[in-house]
């Protein structure tokens, strides 16, 4: 049997584009003699459709799309992902389904059993879990068709992969009792930089355990916060990767199942460098956020610091230099080299930039408030006014010219509340909000891999918000390598405070950082959407009550 994997980038709710893309692949695969095309999970709607699933017209559009795709499956079969109606008298009204289409008809519907409700997932909100298991018989082969979590039913933290079964039963174990010939998995599995190796181990382990060839088709592209890396796999029965379709790119490839069973091919490397994967993920996130929203231009507040430099460089690469504008907003406390570094970066990128000094605006605000401040001494209030004046300037240009403001806060700062609400936390998209400060520096080095784009002084100088004379980040925070280790252990690994450890980490520092994290939930609650590159990003994947004793 010849099977084609279609690793595609879908746009949520864009039924015409998604369907046309699928039809084109089906026609091409049929022309080259393929027997079966496998598309990712919820390929008809794009993932995640979220509360759009509650709209009747949305489900009708799904059915219309399936009708169009059916007409193309005369000489070839297809497996597509689509929500289907639960026509029983109880349970949620939809299933998350894989439709097997042959001879112009939906011959079989396989419904997802394991509905994740952790991290960014909330599938049980919409779908009824299935308890029925059956193989698909096609051209002399018995196919065990699974949907994402139905095969990924055991996981571990990070790449240590101490596996733990997340559910009380395993769909694949049920299907294995029926003696299938091939495992097929359709997925919409989001990218997480530290879990690429774990994803590989999950799928290769399943193929080896059941001694069967495995085809996994995963979505690529990005939808709002979620970025999908693709990385679709074909795995031989011995658990070796026969081939994979690359990362962060659409790809379609066909395979002879007999050759895969033989498995005589060098196993290709799966995954790329950690920072390279993050770089490609963020480019994908920015590009698709703009492209799928119908947006064209971006603006950044370029300070001469590392965070705004990295975000601006990413935006220029993702959108093109003519689509990015920078605004430099020096204050009375800004160093001369911050301005020159920002100008140098803008020149290296070839983007438009403008300089607006904020001292007069700042003085106007503070002078207006002076009668209300009762001669109280200056404190963080005046520092925050500077940040908010800058936000006013940036949003004014955004309104006037339609440039979407990109937020430049990183995960380390967001975690401990080291940012000004309605100031430097403003923006339509947080590009590096899931990237630790130490990784921001590594990403800057990667951006400079073929020559200087981000000025070396920007990378080398101590980080500072420059909101008062001589200010440094370390006046308020631990060194970033220490801070990032604490945040990672506490947020991503869910490590109790008393068990957080590492070089330079003391209980007093841990307690201080955790207090800052817990006190800053209200700020993160009002932040722009954050491009997710970790297993626990701020946003829908981490739900902490604003009013809670922690």
* 523 carries an active-site annotation: no
Measured CA to CA, the distance from residue 519 to residue 493 in angstroms comes to: 20
* Rounded Cα distance, 331 and 494, in Å: 40
Q: Can you tell me which residue has the tokens 């909101």?
A: 467
**Residue 469: count of CB within 10 angstroms of its CB:** 7
Token pair of 136 as six digits: 């698909």
Residue found under tokens 């990413």: 314
Query: Could you give the CA distance from residue 171 to residue 162 in angstroms, rounded to a whole number?
Result: 21
Reduce the DSSP state of residue 265 to 3 states and report it: coil
Q: In whole angstroms, what is the distance from residue 283 CA to residue 443 CA?
A: 12
User: In whole angstroms, how far apart are CA 297 and each of 349, 429, 481?
Assistant: 15, 13, 34
Q: What's the rounded Cα separation, in Å, for the pair 453 and 345?
A: 6
Active site residue 75: no
Cα separation, 430 vs 407, whole angstroms: 5
Rounded Cα distance between 299 and 99, Å, is 43
Closest CA to 477 of 272, 485, 469: 485
Instruction: Give the active site residue among 61, 123, 148, 292.
Output: 148
Choosing from 70, 112, 200, 411, the catalytic residue is: 112
- Give the relative orientation of helices 306-319 and 274-293 as an angle to the nearest 10 degrees: 60
Asked if 301 and 394 count as a contact pair (C-beta separation under 8 A), the reply is yes
* Catalytic site includes residue 174: no
Angle subtended by helix axes 306-319 and 437-447, to nearest 10 = 50
Helical H runs in 350-448? 359-373, 380-401, 411-416, 437-447
* Active-site residue, selected from the candidate residues 41, 317, 383, 466: 41
Tell me the C-alpha distance between 204 and 188, whole Å. 18
Helices 359-373 and 380-401 cross at an angle (nearest 10°) of 130
Mind telling me the catalytic residues? 41, 112, 148
């Amino acid at each position: 049997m010849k099977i084609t994997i279609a690793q595609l980038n879908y746009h949520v709710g864009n039924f015409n584009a998604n369907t046309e893309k699928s039809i084109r692949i089906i026609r091409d695969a049929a022309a080259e003699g393929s027997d079966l095309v496998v598309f990712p999970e919820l390929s008809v709607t794009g993932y995640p459709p979220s509360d759009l699933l509650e709209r009747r017209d949305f489900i009708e559009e799904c059915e219309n799309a399936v009708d169009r795709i059916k007409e193309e499956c005369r000489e070839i079969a297809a497996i597509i992902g689509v929500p289907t109606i639960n026509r029983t008298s109880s349970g949620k009204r939809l299933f998350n389904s894989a439709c097997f289409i042959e001879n112009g008809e939906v011959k079989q519907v396989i419904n997802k059993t394991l509905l994740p409700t952790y991290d960014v997932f909330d599938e049980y909100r919409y779908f009824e879990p299935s308890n029925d298991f059956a193989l698909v018989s096609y051209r002399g082969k018995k196919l065990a068709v699974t949907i994402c979590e139905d095969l990924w039913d055991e996981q571990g933290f990070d790449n240590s992969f101490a596996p733990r079964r997340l559910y009380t039963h395993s769909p694949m174990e049920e299907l294995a009792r029926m003696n299938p010939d091939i495992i097929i998995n359709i997925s919409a599995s989001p990218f997480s930089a530290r879990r690429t190796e774990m994803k590989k181990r999950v799928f290769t382990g399943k193929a080896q355990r059941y001694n069967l060839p495995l085809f996994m088709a995963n979505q690529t592209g990005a939808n709002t916060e979620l970025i999908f890396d693709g990385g679709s796999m074909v795995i031989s029965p011995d658990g070796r990767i026969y081939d994979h379709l690359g990362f962060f790119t659409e790809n379609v490839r066909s395979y002879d199942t007999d050759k895969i069973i033989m498995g005589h091919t060098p196993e290709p490397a799966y995954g790329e460098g950690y920072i390279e994967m993050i770089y490609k993920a963020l480019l994908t996130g920015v590009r698709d956020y703009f492209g799928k929203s119908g947006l064209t231009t971006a603006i950044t507040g370029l300070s001469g610091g590392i965070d705004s430099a990295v975000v601006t460089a990413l935006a220029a690469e993702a959108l093109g230099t003519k689509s990015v504008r920078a605004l430099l907003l020096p204050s009375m406390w800004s160093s001369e080299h911050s301005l020159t570094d920002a100008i140098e970066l803008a020149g290296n990128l070839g983007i438009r930039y403008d300089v607006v000094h904020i001292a007069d605006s700042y003085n106007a605000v503070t002078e207006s408030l002076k009668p209300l401040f009762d001669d109280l001494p200056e404190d963080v209030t005046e520092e925050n006014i500077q940040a908010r004046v800058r936000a006013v300037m940036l949003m004014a240009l955004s309104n006037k010219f339609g440039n979407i403001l990109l937020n430049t806060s990183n995960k380390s700062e967001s975690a401990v509340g080291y940012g000004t609400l309605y100031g430097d936390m403003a923006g339509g998209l947080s590009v590096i909000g899931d990237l630790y400060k130490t990784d921001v520096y590594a990403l800057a080095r990667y951006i400079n891999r073929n020559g200087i784009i981000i000025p070396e002084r920007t990378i080398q100088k101590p980080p500072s918000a420059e909101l008062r004379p001589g200010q440094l980040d370390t006046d308020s925070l631990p060194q970033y390598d220490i801070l990032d280790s604490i945040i990672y252990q506490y947020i991503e690994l869910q490590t109790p405070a008393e068990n957080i450890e590492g070089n330079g980490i003391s209980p007093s520092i841990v307690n201080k950082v955790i207090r800052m994290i817990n006190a800053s939930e209200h700020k993160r609650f009002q932040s722009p959407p954050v491009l997710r590159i970790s297993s626990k990003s701020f946003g829908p994947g981490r739900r902490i009550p604003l009013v809670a004793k922690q």
